Amino acid sequence: MEIRQRWVTEEYDGQSMRAYLARPASAGEAVLPTVIVIQEVWGVDEHIQDMADRFAAAGYQALAPDLYSLGEVPEALRPKRIQGVKRFLDTMPPQGWGDTAVREQYINKRPQPEAQNLRETLALLFGPKDNSRFIGQLKAWVDFAEQNDSPVVSVGYCMGGGLSFLLATEDQRVKAAVCNYGTAPTEEALARIDTPVYGFYGGTDHRITDAVPSLAEGMAKLGKTFHYKIYAEAGHAFFNDSRASYNVNAARDAWAETLSFFSRQLKN
């Protein structure tokens, strides 16, 4: 299938931002449901663009906002620098990725200026995030989709999984949300949600997955719609086929479940 791909720009808070847009070429200018595809911490890289293309091939308009593009992308978050961090992290144990002390042991083995570049980019990628600003941008992209009366659903991966879940608590226009191995919003935020949510998790991703049963119990007590699946043999980022974390069985099943979930909810 031929996919039409382009970058589009919008404005938020007086600054420009961009998103990758993919549509099936054969649909012409027909109004299609929009899937907002929310990035991993790595940005709108080849994997996220590929996921958007896959949704377009399934008959959707897919919009992948570049959450780092508001205003001017910092040098430390540009694709070349992020690719360098990915290569660096592949040289160390995954359990050490989030441990500053462990990362420093490996960074200190690198020459300058590479070592300093790694520190700068890692600090931004794994440091505190302004989720309220990210949600503001995502709401603006919902506005963009609704200009053509397109119904909106959202899906995210890792950081984006948490943001997809959070967006559902903040914008009732989103008809369904999928969270792939992302953290859940606060209990206060969950109390506001009306959007059905489906979560997909890796069984060995204990930092996130161990909290899912209590999350489901809490959502049930609140009378909210939350489905989830845990893939016992999969880890974090099992959907990312560009990384060693990829698990084909979990990814295949979660993909089919996601499409089915969106189709059901868009009929309601």
Known catalytic residues are: 158, 205, 236
Distances (CA, A) of 237 to 164, 179, 234: 15, 12, 9
Phi, psi of 237 (to 5 degrees): 60, 40
Cβ–Cβ < 8 Å for 129, 152: no
Across the chain, which distance is largest between two alpha carbons, in Å? Answer: 57
Q: Which residues contact 3 (CB under 8 A, 6 or more apart)?
A: 22, 23, 24, 25, 53, 56, 57
| Close Cβ partners of 136 (under 8 Å, ≥ 6 residues apart) | 12, 13
- CB burial readout 54-63, b (16+ within 10 A) else e: bbbebebbbb
Q: Which residues pair with 61 in a beta bridge?
A: 34
Give the separation between CA 27 and CA 185, rounded to whole angstroms.
36
Q: Which of 146, 177, 148 is nearest to 27 (CA)?
A: 148
